[in-house]
Chains A and B, each alone.
Chain A
């Protein structure tokens, strides 16, 4: 069963623009994580935000978490062509003791 649902499913922007992806989930969580996947490859962990945190930064990435709305957003600032990939949110609920992934957002950054 899918815990996280990303929105939009696909996003196309030009280099230099900001990209925002959203994730909604259904049950209470311990933490939420974002991953990136280049075409046909494995996933790479980007950032983890705990349930008691509201915002976190890592380089050009900014993640927010709103536990009252059960939602998170990933902002990539000043996008580059190399940011073209699929992005997944994943939730950890503690009781389930495993990560549950959403279906992903496909980001295309064009020159």
Chain B
């Protein structure tokens, strides 16, 4: 079964901390994505990657960076966490020509910044 694993279900971090959210997929998918989900705003794309060491900005990249050193792993980094980054973070992956296939999502990481 296709699987996307996010390292933590819940995280609590302090303002100013550097935060790493990890995502691993076991399906040999080329494409990986990070979204954040907030009530009333739906899912918003932060960053995505179509290949190893490749990244592209999504709609709301400010305050975030990403790393994809290996095909199966896509990390989201909050350089200096702020309270407005409290949110549900969702990682997804897909095979082939980007949006032509459905995405497989992880279970999400609910991050609280205090």
Contact = CB atoms under 8 A, between A and B. Distances in A.
Nearest to A43: B105
Contacts of A44: 105
B114 interface: no
Bin chain B's interface residue count. Answer: 20 to 34
Contacts of B40: 103
A88 interface: yes
Interface residues of A, number: 26
B42 A2 contact: yes
A41 B99 contact: no
Contact of B33 (A33, A41, A45, A98): A98
Contact of A30 (B99, B102, B105): B99
A9 to B, nearest CB: 9
Contacts of A90: 103
14 contacts: A2-B42, A31-B99, A33-B102, A41-B107, A42-B105, A42-B107, A42-B108, A43-B92, A45-B102, A45-B103, A93-B99, A97-B98, A97-B99, A98-B48
